[in-house]
Amino acid sequence: MSADTRAADEVWRAMVSVVFDNRDAWKRDVIEVSGLPFSRIRVLRRLARRPMTAKEIAEAATMDAPATSVAVNDLEDRGLVVRETNPNNRRCKVVSLTDEGRRVLARIDGVEDPAPRRFADLSREEVQTLESILAKLTDG
Pick the closest to residue 73 from 41, 40, 35, 114 (CA basis): 40
Residue 96 domain boundaries: 24-112
Question: Which residue type does 83 have?
Answer: R
Pick the closest to residue 36 from 114, 113, 101 (CA basis): 101
User: Model pTM greater than 0.85?
Assistant: no
Question: What pLDDT, on a 0 to 100 scale, did the predictor assign at position 53?
Answer: 94
In a domain, 85, yes or no: yes
How many whole angstroms from its chain centre is CA 84?
23
In a domain, 108, yes or no: yes
Question: What pLDDT, on a 0 to 100 scale, did the predictor assign at position 132?
Answer: 93
Question: What pLDDT, on a 0 to 100 scale, did the predictor assign at position 28?
Answer: 94
In a domain, 100, yes or no: yes
Alpha helix segments (H runs only) across 21-137 = 24-34, 38-49, 54-60, 65-77, 99-109, 124-137
pLDDT (tens, 9 = 90+) of the chain, 140 residues, equals 777 788 889 999 998 999 988 899 999 999 999 999 999 999 999 999 999 999 999 999 999 999 999 999 999 999 999 999 988 888 889 999 999 999 999 999 999 999 998 899 999 999 999 999 999 988 75
Question: What pLDDT, on a 0 to 100 scale, did the predictor assign at position 138?
Answer: 84
State how many domains the chain has.
1
In a domain, 131, yes or no: no
Question: What pLDDT, on a 0 to 100 scale, did the predictor assign at position 140?
Answer: 53
In a domain, 130, yes or no: no
In a domain, 65, yes or no: yes
